[in-house]
Amino acid sequence: MTVIDLIEQIDDICGRYPKYWLSDEARHELQVLWGGPDCNDSGVFERDETVRIDLDGTNWYAEVRIAVAPNGWHAISTSFWYGQGGGGSSPSVWNRFAYTARDEAVEAGINELIARFEGVRDCKGYAPQSQSDLADRMIQTLKTYLSQSRQLSLF
């Protein structure tokens, strides 16, 4: 997997602006770093693709959102929902990692989602056993999706 680590460049940009999260100048520098993508005022890419994976028979699902910048880099974000919670975000110029190919971006997003659902599965205390079982099913569903996306088609 080809991952482009942007942590140093982003930290450098943020270090030059007090309240960088509110700075139009910082956001503009990040847009330049990403090749000038169309973004909203928060740096969120205006166009992206969503890969959604549902757990059959439940209201559990996971999403990888992929945005392609003009320089060819792919930014990802993930969203996930389950019976008692969830979370998510959108790809933006604040992403600390970029990927050179769509399939690499999807793989990274799926792996991130697997880690999130492992946390749900392994939660101790208040959660009912059914939550752990469903989380395990979702992890297996994500792994199956990942393995299928790696298979080459002969036709």
Quick: pLDDT tens for 59-91.
Answer: 999 999 999 999 999 999 999 999 889 999 999
pLDDT, the chain, mean: 92
Going 109 to 115 to 118 to 124, the CA torsion angle's sign is negative
State the pLDDT confidence band at 101, using cuts at 50, 70 and 90.
very high
pLDDT tens by residue, 19-72: 999 999 999 999 999 999 999 999 999 988 999 999 988 999 999 999 999 999
Q: Are 102 and 66 in contact (CB under 8 A)?
A: yes
> Structural domain tally of the chain?
1
- In terms of residue numbers, what domain contains 52? 3-150
Q: Are 33 and 6 in contact (CB under 8 A)?
A: yes
96 DSSP assignment: S
Determine how many CB atoms are found less than 10 A away from the CB of residue 77: 21
Q: Is residue 155 part of a domain?
A: no
Single pTM value for the model: 0.89
Q: Is residue 57 part of a domain?
A: yes
